[in-house]
Amino acid sequence: MYRRIRNLREDKDMTQTEVAKMLTMSQTGYSKYETGENDIPTNILIKLADFYDVSVDYLLNRTDNPKTNR
């Protein structure tokens, strides 16, 4: 899961600081999600899925299909 959020961020040419700002959190806190040091809370997962326009299942590695069911 953690590799996916890093890859999605890098695909958008964004820094951890930029994504953390969008999530209204610190870069350090966000970095711990990417490294797997901290589990990602549900509300953050939803924000990331919406931001990257992918499904939460994709972020959680439950599917390789990034499309949402909206």
Q: Does pTM surpass 0.75?
A: yes
Locate tokens 């589990």: which residue? 39
CA dist list (Å): 62 to 13, 15, 39: 25, 26, 16
**Higher-confidence position of 48 and 70:** 48
Q: Which fold, 2-59?
A: 434 Repressor (Amino-terminal Domain) (1.10.260)
Residue 49's pLDDT is 95
**Higher-confidence position of 64 and 69:** 64
Cβ neighbours, 10 Å, residue 53: 11
Domain boundaries, the chain: 2-59
Average pLDDT, stretch 4-16? Answer: 96
pLDDT digits (tens, 9 = 90+) for 17-52: 999 999 999 999 999 999 999 999 999 999 999 999
Name the 3-class secondary structure at 15.
coil
